[in-house]
Amino acid sequence: MARLKTINPFGEEFFDNPPAPPAPPARELPPPATKRATVRLNLDIDRALHRQLKLVALNEDRSVADVVRDLIQEAVMERGSGYSVE
């Protein structure tokens, strides 16, 4: 924002608004976390089932995504593919 300079009747210059505060010092960002390659899964489910899923996640203090990932992992392991995510 530009500062407004004014001259009073005595010829003195002054600013109508205070200067902006100094910018905070730049901080280094942590290195990015190593992530597994992932794909996005998008599907439609019944509204009532979604509500129940959210309640399960809430009761377990977890995200819906984490609950769904675990359920998929259990289903895949149960069916004997031998695939495991660690």
CA gap 86, 80 in Å, rounded = 17
Percent of the chain surpassing pLDDT 70: 70
Residues 84 and 74: their CA atoms lie apart, in Å, by 9
pLDDT digits (tens, 9 = 90+) for 20-57: 778 777 777 666 667 778 889 999 999 999 999 999 99
| Average of per-residue pLDDT across 8-28 | 72
pLDDT the model gives residue 27: 75
Residue 68, classed as helix, strand or coil, is helix
- Residue-wise pLDDT for 57-83, tens only, equals 999 999 999 999 999 988 888 887 666
Higher pLDDT among residues 51 and 13, named by residue: 51
Interatomic CA distance for residues 28 and 17, integer angstroms: 32
Q: Residue 73's closest CA among 83, 58, 63?
A: 83
The H or E element spanning position 13 is strand 13-15
Distance CA 78, CA 66 (A): 18
